[in-house]
Amino acid sequence: MTKYQILIRQSLSNTTLASKLYARVNIIESGAVTYSNSNTVTLARPHLIPIAVSLLLLIVFLLHGPIGQLDHYHDFADQRSLGGIPHAMDVWSNVGFAIVGTLGLAVCWMGRRQLGARTAGYTIFFAAMLMTAFGSSWYHIAPDNSRLVWDRLPIAVACAGIMSAAWAEFVNSKQARFALPWLLLGACLSVAWWHVTELTGMGDLRPYLWLQALPLITVPLLLWKSPKRPARAGAWTIAILCYVLAKGFELADHAIFDLLHLISGHTFKHLFATLAAWAIYWRLQQLVSTDTSYEPVTQHKLSMISKAH
């Protein structure tokens, strides 16, 4: 039980709802619930801005037209072999995904009661990390478009899982659980759309890129609107920053290898993406180790409380 629930229950047991509550208390579940000194109860909606920005980005992608894959995409900088494995650094740097994925799945299982409805999103995310380790390794051994499907698919699934996990934490866990199957369907279709259009010679990455951009947009905006920002910001902020850096290293693959001669930008991409996943694992441990389970405070329940008092 949170301190806010204790406060509400004590207030209800002693006198009317309005007289004993503090002037303003904010809770995030189905939104930021705000109590004032009057008998009115309002429900802020921190999710409206992220939704609006995401839809705006979708419109921009639609107006832009097809976005094709970069020329020479499969021509990675580090071509060295090790132990008979070609492109060894880009292959072995996926080991971190397997480790964090396995550990994350174990924590999801052991902490499923504390996580409640949030379990699904985190489980999908860490399962996708484990799949990424195998899919990306398979692709980098002999890079081509047919193998790239099995690299991109788990990444898209991971984006769907992390979107559900973030929505469950910042907005509403039941909404997140309901949306998760649709997010997974969208993830699979985004990769299928790219692959089919690539086969026709008109490759289009727009749905896949939009799905990857969603967590980078929604999580910072939800953090900004969250009244519990300090407690939540650390792990999520590290995850976002590491993933942004990973995408930057990906684009600078050859430049970094030419500069360092020991490690390529794409290998750095794998390592920083792994750090992003570790940050999410850190947040998962925080949630499991703290008793954050509570009954969702919905508008319907608040109106019933107000009528009863």
pLDDT tens sequence across 208-218: 999 999 999 99
Per-residue pLDDT, 41: 40
CB 218 within 8 A of CB 176: no
Strand order in the sheet with 32-35: 26-28, 32-35, 41-43
**Residue 223: pLDDT band by 50, 70, 90 thresholds?**
confident
pLDDT of the residue at 163: 94
Mean pLDDT of the chain: 83
pLDDT at position 266 is: 97
What is the CATH topology of the domain spanning 66-289?
Rhopdopsin 7-helix transmembrane proteins (1.20.1070)
Mean pLDDT to the nearest integer, 138-162: 97
For residue 132, CA distances in Å to 93, 102, 148, 158 come to: 11, 12, 11, 9
Strand partners, 41: 35
**Angle of helix 119-141 versus helix 265-289 axis, rounded to 10:** 160
Distance (Å, whole) CA 90 – CA 80: 9
- 14 pLDDT more than 90: no
Q: 100: closest CA among 293, 237, 271, 257?
A: 271
Are the CB atoms for 66 and 204 separated by under 8 Å? yes
- pLDDT 10s digits, 39-67: 434 445 667 888 899 999 999 999 999 99
**Tokens 């905006």 -> residue:** 221
22 close to 4: Cβ distance less than 8 angstroms: no
Burial of residue 24 (CB within 10 Å: 0-12, 13-18, 19+) is exposed
Region 139-156 average pLDDT: 97
Can you tell me the mean pLDDT for 238-242? 96
**Res 176 pLDDT > 80:** yes
SS3 40: coil
For residues 193 and 199, what is the distance between their CA atoms, to the nearest angstrom? 10
Query: For 42, which DSSP code?
Result: E
Q: What is the pTM assigned to this prediction?
A: 0.80
- pLDDT band at 291, cuts 50/70/90? low
The ranges assigned to domains in the chain are: 3-43+296-308, 66-289
Q: How confident is the model at residue 8 (pLDDT cuts 50, 70, 90)?
A: very low
pLDDT at position 227: 66
Structural Rg of the chain based on CA atoms: 22
Sign of CA dihedral 217, 228, 117, 287: positive
Alpha-carbon span 130 to 95, nearest angstrom: 9
Per the CB < 8 A criterion, the answer to whether 97 and 280 are in contact is: no
Residue 300 has pLDDT above 50, yes or no: no
Average pLDDT over residues 185-192: 97
Q: What is the DSSP letter of 69?
A: P
What are the tens digits of pLDDT across the range 66-117?
999 988 999 999 999 998 999 999 999 999 999 999 999 999 999 999 998 8
